[in-house]
Amino acid sequence: MSTVPISVLIVDDQELVRTGFRMVISSQSDMIVVAEAADGRQAIAEAARVRPDVVLMDIRMPGIDGIEATRAVRAANARIKVVILTTFDADEYVYEALAAGASGFLLKDGPADELYRAIRVAHAGES
C-alpha cells in the first residue's frame, strides 16, 4: 500500500451526502478527502485547484451536471479519475458517463467496502 494517501474530491449537491462520504472515507488510512463541491461548476474549479487522485461525482446537480463536469475535469487533467455516484433510477446515464471519461460507478446506498474498493480501483487504473 502506498504511503501517500489517495486524495479524494467529493462532489454532490446534498450536504449530508457529502458529509457522510467524508466521514466514511476518513476512517481509511490510505485515502483522504481534500475538498468538496456542491455542483459541477465548483467541481471543475476544485479539481483544478487541488488536483485530486479521484473525484466522487454525483450526476444530478443544479447548473453543470456530473456528466458535463466529468468531461471537463478529464479534459483538463486525464490523471484525475472520476467515479460516478449513481442511484438505481440513473442507469440511463451510465453510457454517457463512461463516454465522458468516468472510470467507474458506485451506488450511493451501497456498503462502505464498495466505496473503498471503487476509490482504490479507480486510482490504480490507467488514464
How many amino acids of this chain bind Mg ion (CB under 5 A)?
3
Length of the chain counted residue by residue: 127
Helix (H) or strand (E) holding 85: strand 81-86
Q: Given CA atoms 14, 18, 19, 21 in this order, what sign does their dihedral have? A: positive
Span 48-87, contacts to Mg ion by CB under 5 A: 58, 60
Judged on CB neighbours under 10 Å (0-12, 13-18, 19+), 125 is: exposed
Q: How far is the CB of 127 from Mg ion (least distance, A)?
A: 26
Span interacting with Mg ion, options 1-9, 13-21, 88-96, 114-122, rule CB under 5 A: 13-21
Q: Pick from 8, 9, 11, 13: which binds Mg ion (CB under 5 A)?
A: 13
Alpha-carbon distance 55 to 79, whole Å?
11
Q: How far is the CB of 58 from Mg ion (least distance, A)?
A: 4
Buried b / exposed e across 49-72, counting CB within 10 Å, b at 16+? eeebbbbbbbbbbeebbbbbbbbb
CA-based diameter of the chain, in Å?
38
Span interacting with Mg ion, options 9-17, 19-27, 76-84, 87-95, rule CB under 5 A: 9-17
Span interacting with Mg ion, options 7-15, 26-34, 48-56, 74-82, rule CB under 5 A: 7-15
Closer residue to Mg ion in complex, CB, 71/93: 93
Q: How far is the CB of 95 from Mg ion (least distance, A)?
A: 19
Residues that bind Mg ion (CB under 5 A): 13, 58, 60
